[in-house]
Amino acid sequence: MSLTFHWFLPTNGDSRHVVGGGHGTPATASALHRPPSVAYLSQIAAAAEDLGFTGALTPTGAWCEDAWLTTAMVSQRTERLKFLVAFRPGSVSPTLAAQMAATFQNRTGGRLLINVVTGGESHEQRAYGDFLDKDARYARTDEFLGVVRRLWDGESVSLDGKHVRVEEAQLARVPEPRPEIYFGGSSPAAGGVAARHSDVYLTWGEPPAAVAEKIAWIRTLAEEQEGRRVRFGIRLHVITRDTAEQAWAEARRLLDGFDPETVRAVQNGLARSESEGQKRMLALHGGDRDGLEIHPNLWAGIGLVRGGAGTALVGSHDEVADRIAEYHALGIDEFVLSGYPHLEEAYWFGEGVLPRLQARGLWRHPFRDEATGGHTFAQAAQATQAAQVPFAAAGAGSAR
């Protein structure tokens, strides 16, 4: 099976430095900040589509733009790229969520994927009017997804649950095909929900031994659900260059740009996180700038200033390809990647690493006719050209 790669739409803004945010921490910007305009995000999406990424993850939270509205607009600038839309159950009713997903899926020709985010920070959830504690949020997600999946299957659903109540809910038009559900979480409560409902279980970029343990854990839980089978994915940043020296020089440049006060403020904020996954990210670096290479080519520096995924694959194109093959050997089939800036780093990875994986028989371009090397859809070049706007027009600042 060919590996699947997704890129990232930075709806909190982009930069030649790391833009933080997430898990209760505010987005951080720099003098070279690029606002997340539709034009600039469309430029990233068009590049990702052309390079061979299957989809693009869009985050959710108070620190970024709304994922549903943003991707609905950006989808009109692309032809085949799918959108992995981060979504929090509980913000709307399951019936409305199922209807929104069906509309998105049917209007884009089947280009929606759902990244379910239960919500790890109670203080941010309360800002949205959600006052449940963490375990109750997972219980609600369980009921919520049970209703949504049945609605997508065309059923009439009535449920008087502990957290979800609907009566004779039904969709006039179901999504075609049913959107796949991506789900992550490291706590015991998360594992059960993932095993029952997820198509793809996502983990943040931990060392291979820790990832192997998670895969075995979820695989066992899924087998207990009438033999369900779950695919596995990993969320990582990437810094890949022609040589290892160039890649590590870029990592050092990013690290040198971390203001000590910002690092302290972010680490203090993340230390209060209720997320088990976030705690595991923090444990990889302990807030220390030293010893950040925690496994060959796996660098924990991003997590000093950013909540959520905090590790990056750093190295030459061949070394990064080796690490991807190492994770794949554990059972990882999907990779959700990002880099700073997201436009330029997409090209470093897409032109440097993907051809090497293709040569190894691990990947093929999802939108390209291998026999001719051309695109299978006639408007791809037009869509890419339409989305190519100057950085200045996109609010990108200096393009040096």
Q: Convert the chain into a string of H (helix), E (strand) and C (coil).
A: CCCEEEEECCCCCECCCCCCCECCECCCCCCCCECCCHHHHHHHHHHHHHHCCCEEEECCCCCCCCHHHHHHHHHHHCCCCEEEEEECCCCCCHHHHHHHHHHHHHHHCCCEEEEECCCCCHHHHHHCCCCCCHHHHHHHHHHHHHHHHHHHCCCCEEEECCCCEEEEECCCCCCCCCCEEEEECCCHHHHHHHHHHCCEEEEECCCHHHHHHHHHHHHHHHHCCCCCCCEEEEEEEEEEECCHHHHHHHHHHHHHCCCHHHHHHHHHHHCCCCCHHHHHHHHHHCCCCCCCEEECCEECHHHHCCCCCCCEEEEEHHHHHHHHHHHHHHCCCEEEEECCCHHHHHHHHHHHCHHHHHHCCCCCCCCEECCCCEECCCCHHHHHHHHCCCCCCCCCCCCC
Q: Sorting pLDDT into bands at 50, 70 and 90, what band is 381?
A: very low
Please state the rounded mean pLDDT for residues 17-28: 76
The hierarchical CATH code for the domain 4-237+322-387 is 3.20.20.30
Of the two residues 52 and 371, the one the predictor is more confident about is: 52
Residue 28 has pLDDT above 90, yes or no: no
- Rounded CA separation 189/300 (Å): 26
Residue 275 has pLDDT above 70, yes or no: yes
Residue 370 has pLDDT above 90, yes or no: no
Residue 389 has pLDDT above 60, yes or no: no
pLDDT at 368: 87
Mean pLDDT over the full length of the chain: 91
pLDDT at 52: 98
Q: 30-34, 92-96, 233-237, 377-381: lowest mean pLDDT where? A: 377-381
pLDDT at 93: 96
Please state the rounded mean pLDDT for residues 248-265: 94
Please state the rounded mean pLDDT for residues 33-37: 94
pLDDT at 121: 83
Q: Sorting pLDDT into bands at 50, 70 and 90, what band is 397?
A: very low
pLDDT in tens, 296-319: 999 999 999 999 999 999 999 999
Residue 240 has pLDDT above 70, yes or no: yes
Q: 320-329, 356-365, 381-390: lowest mean pLDDT where? A: 381-390
pLDDT at 26: 63
Q: Sorting pLDDT into bands at 50, 70 and 90, what band is 276?
A: very high
Q: 123-127, 289-293, 351-355, 396-400: lowest mean pLDDT where? A: 396-400
pLDDT at 21: 79
pLDDT at 24: 63
Residue 180 has pLDDT above 70, yes or no: yes
Q: Sorting pLDDT into bands at 50, 70 and 90, what band is 123?
A: confident
pLDDT at 376: 38
- Cα separations (Å) of 337 from 90, 280, 282, 285? 27, 19, 19, 20
Please state the rounded mean pLDDT for residues 145-169: 98
Residue 385 has pLDDT above 70, yes or no: no
Query: pTM score, two decimals?
Result: 0.91
Please state the rounded mean pLDDT for residues 114-131: 89
Q: 24-28, 174-178, 188-192: lowest mean pLDDT where? A: 24-28
- Tokens matching residue 171: 């969709």
- Rounded CA separation 294/300 (Å): 7
Residue 197 has pLDDT above 70, yes or no: yes
